[in-house]
Copies of this chain bind each other. A is one copy, B any other.
Amino acid sequence: MADAVLFEFLHTEMVAELWARDPDPGSGGKKKSLSVLEGLGFRVGQALGERLPRETLAFREELDALKFLCKDLWAAMFQKHMDGLRTNHQGTYVLQDNSFPLFITMGSGSQYLEEAPKFLAFTCGLLCGALHTLGFQSLVTASVAALPACKFQVVIQKY
């Protein structure tokens, strides 16, 4: 029994609980649940970020911070690395996971695609929160073309 599954099970049940509370997709409840999950993820990401070794917190380059998410953060969460990282070198990054672990409880047929966003919101928030602690403001969204693969798009905000 690996303790990694504890996080995955808790995540699954939390998603189910929030959905059960706002069951009506027409009421804006769905959107609210997504933003609640994203907020939870953000705070967990911040907290994780604050536990990083001091030297890691001194990333000067965006790309180093993104590589850190793809390797160290992903390893801490899912015991593996992200499968791909691409950038347009203008502050937009696409992180690809060919088998996203938090989809484990979902079926893999295309009929489940519409269920995917609720399993992605927490992790979008978490990536954003970790980047925040690393000193970068960002917008993070996710998309799925074929389960269980997914892509996270990170856009670094410049002021």
Contacts and interface: CB of A to CB of B under 8 A. Distances in A.
A10 B14 contact: yes
Interface in A38-90: 39-40, 43-44, 47-48, 51-52, 72-73, 76-77, 79
Query: Quick one: copies of this chain in the complex?
Result: 2
A146 interface: no
A10 to B, nearest CB: 6
Given A1-B48, A14-B14, A52-B1, A6 B40 contact: no
A151 B1 CA distance: 24
A52 B2 CA distance: 10
A36 B5 CA distance: 21
Given A10-B10, A10-B44, A13-B43, 11 more contacts: A1-B51, A5-B51, A9-B43, A9-B44, A9-B47, A9-B48, A10-B14, A12-B47, A14-B40, A17-B36, A17-B39
